[in-house]
Each structure stands twice: as C-alpha cells, then as structure tokens.
Structure 1
Amino acid sequence: MADRSESPKHTRVEPVRILAHRGLAGDGDENCLSAFRAAREAGVAWIETDVNATADGVALTIHDPDLSRVAGVDGVVGEMTAAEISGVRLVHGERIPTVEEALAAVPDAYFNIDVKDEGSVGALPQAIEASGAAGRVLVTSFSESRRRRVLRKLPRGVASSAGYGGIAAFKLVSACIPLRACSAVWTVISRVIRPWVAEFGAMQVPETQRVGPLTVRVVTPRFLAAAHRCGLRVDVWTIDDPRDMMRLAQLGVDGIVTNRADVAQATLGPGAAD
C-alpha cells in the first residue's frame, strides 16, 4: 500500500501573499516613492524592491548598477555620491529614493529587499536600523555571501529568503529524499551548510529556469510539499497574467511577485495581499 505521507497534495491555510515588484509602477517609474505608495494604496502589504549603494555608502532603491535604463543618462550608482544622484530624475520625472525614504513613505508596508551590490552589505543594515524597520523587512539576494553578511549586521530573526545556494540545496533534498523524511534531513543539511548559507524562511524562485539548453521546472507539487513540510514559504516571480496567478495559487504557492499587484489582488481575492 502506498504511504499517504508521500502525497504532494496541498491544502491552503493562508491566502497567497502578493509582492508588488518594484512597487506598482504601471507605465511610470519603478522603485520610486509614487510606485511604493500606489502599491500600498491598492491594498498590497508587501513591496519588493532592490538596493544598490552610492560611493558614500547610502542605500538606494534601484535595480540596476547604472542609470542608463531607468534615467536615460550615464552614471554608475556605486561611483556617484548620494548628493549627485539626488539631482537625477528617472525617465518619468521621479527621484531615486533612499531606502530610509522608502521605509518612511509607506510605514505600514513590508519591504522585500534584494541586495544587488557589495556596497549595500554595509549600507542596507544601516538604513534598516536607522529606520527602526527590522521587523518589516525581508532580506534576499542571489548572492549567498551578500545575504549572509547583511544578516550578520542586523538583529537576529530578521526575515530572509534563500539565494542560489540555498535554493539549489533544498531543490536537491526535495527531489531525492522521501517527503516524510524531508524535514529531518533538511534540518541536518541546513546546519551543515550554515557557514555558507545563512538561515532562511522562504525561497523566491521562477516557475521554470533555463539551465544551458534545458528548461527545468522549479515549482512542482513535490517541491512545494517538501518546502511546506520544512516550514518554508515559496514565492514565485514574476507573474503578471491572472490565469497564471490563479493556477499557481491552486498549485499551492505562498506568494506571487508581480508587476501587476492590482490585478493580482483582484484575481486572488480580498486578503490575498496581506
């Protein structure tokens, strides 16, 4: 007889979390105060943003290391001072905010912050602590090294999601270990890799990932079941089609990162944004 504990079926307990990707910009500027405010005014509690640091150590909410795409001008963020960048306008006229300004602009929102550069390893913790916002941020980075070093500078218990290393390790466990044993095995493995992979409570992943010529499906019923058995959230990026939002919600994902947070909330129902 089959062991029912191996079933990857999911029963949802909480609504899907909506994370507004770089705010809710529409046709306007991303990662700016108006986009962050628009997301919150739409009822979305979580805002996803990125951070790069200036030459003088100020954390800014900007995705790219340079200004060409978002502002149409030359300039590398890490080679300019905060004063110099304060005079730059994005393509639709908005300013590039500091992390402290963003946290102050929407004080009842949570921020999912992606650490993009080395300068932010020192600058981001300073901004979070100066804002008293350690309880309403989640720190992430594709770089496990940057994520680990940022967390070391913040109070213990600050929320975090895995980088590439942690996701790869968990994907291997979920694929190779029986579901009934995943939690025990992951507890051991996460301790073994702790010097390189800081503790995390979530994984933020694409639904599929290109690996050379292959397309690998990351988000599967088994992956989700294993994550939930280990007490880990799974947020999927970047989902803008309402049909995909509904399909992933039914599959059992915990969160959806989207450029259309307004559409996500309308699709997934009241309470989904919190």
Structure 2
Amino acid sequence: MAFATTTSPKSTTGLRRGERNGRIKIAGVVLITVSLMFPLAWMVIAGFKGKTEVLRSPFQFFPDMWDPKNYRAIVQDPQFVRAMLVTFVGAVIFTVLSIAINSMAAYALARLDFAWKRFWWVFCIMPMFIPGMAILLTSFVVVAKLGMLDTMAVLIIPGVASAVQMFFLRQFYLNMPMAMEEAALIDGCSRWQIFVKIFVPQSAAVFVVVGIGSYMAYWNAYVWPILTITNPDLIQIMQFLGNFRSDRGNEWGLLMAGSTLAALPTIVLVLFFQRYIVNGVRISGIK
C-alpha cells in the first residue's frame, strides 16, 4: 500500500518564514561587514594612489594605476620605522606590566580578607567613572613635577593600573572554585604560590583579553604622547601620523600607506588571538 504524505499549510508557511528570516539575517550581516570593512579597504587602496587621487572629486575607489611607491617610501623612512619600533617595544612592556599588576590586585580584592577591603575596592574602581580628559591636565602636572617628561616611563607607568581590567579580572577570580584554593592551603602553599601555580595558569584566556586591550590602548594613544613627548627618538606612531600633514604637506597617499602599516600589527594580533578573546569574554563571569 502507498501512503501519501501531505504538508500542512501551517508548516509550509513556517518554512517560508524561516527562510525569509534567514535571508534577512544574512543580508544584515553582509551589510554590517561591508560598512565596517569599507574604511579599512579604502585606506589600504588609497596607499596605492597618487598625491592628487586620494581626495579626487568625484570620488573614485580604485586608483588609475596601482603603484606601491607610497608603501616603499614610508618603509624606507627612518623616522617612521623608529616610531613603529619604539611604540612596539613600549606596548609590549606596557602590556606585560598591566597584566601583572592588575591580576595581582584583582586576586587580592577577590580572594584575600584585609582591613578596609570594601573601601579599597571602591577606591580602585572609581577611575572607571572619571573621564580621562577631566584629569589630563592634573596628570601632566604630576609627571612634570616628577621629571618624567620625554621618557618611556611617562608613557607606561601612569596607565598601567586599569580599573576596568582590575574589575574584569576580579570577576573571573570570584567565579573560580574555592576547593582548589583550600586544598592548596592545606598542602602548605602560600598565597603567592596559589596565585602563581593555580590562578595564573587558568587565566590564559582572560589574560589575552586584558593584554590585547592594554596593547591597543598604548598603540593607539595620541593625546598623551603629544603632551609628554618631544624627543624625536621617542615619538610614538600615532604621534608621527598626527604630525604627518604639517611635516609632509598633502602627501595623502603616503599618509594612507603609513596608516595601513601602523594598523597592521594590531589587526594581525586580534586575528591571531580571536579564539582566546571570545573564550575570555565568555568565561569572565561578568553579570
């Protein structure tokens, strides 16, 4: 016997609605991706344009002739290369110190009991609610009085302790099981040994998130280096690009090439660690 199968009108309508919603979501993702990538793509392509092509009217996305001379010229510029290297070294030092200091502070605030703990916790996270520009002048006065101007220390030390990163790490440490810590204390481990041998190894994903945040904050800094650095040997990359027009005139193609190369390390870093970033945000336990 043959059995005929029929599809109800409701199920057919549901399938069509599901397909329509899927297409809308795909179209939305494509639209968002294009809107986000368009400025980056234009910057990369503008590096291949001549001096008068970048700001041509009417707008032209692709150059008349693809010429990498701007990229060759900026790579051969000793000031640009020095700025990239100095900024990279500073960013690495800043990132390492930021992870170390904020993780130790977060562990103490999450796991240790000491006098005035609640007060110190509020004191530490208070900078989260104060705009950086509001204390820019007072910060400059402090570092000037300390004789830190025109040194790498003025770029690294003032921003190492971060309320946001301290809060982020503390939330992660609060969600770690107490049993491991209690077992380590019974075995005779000190608090420092517990932090180094138990908490640090399990914090790799969160450290990646904090580290990339620190690296990008240092790499993209512009206002603070402009205020505190005048030594040509310590010029930061964003400071170099910010002064480009006054130093080089209207070399827009050269500026776009330099901006592309300046953005490249951060893009590579984020792409390389993207899996750890997602995992770190997922397990951070922020509510």
Report the TM range for the smaller structure's normalisation.
Answer: under 0.3
Larger Rg: 2
TM-score (norm. length: structure 1): 0.18
Q: Relative contact order (C-alpha < 8 Å, sep 6+): which is higher?
A: 2
Q: Which has the higher strand share?
A: 1
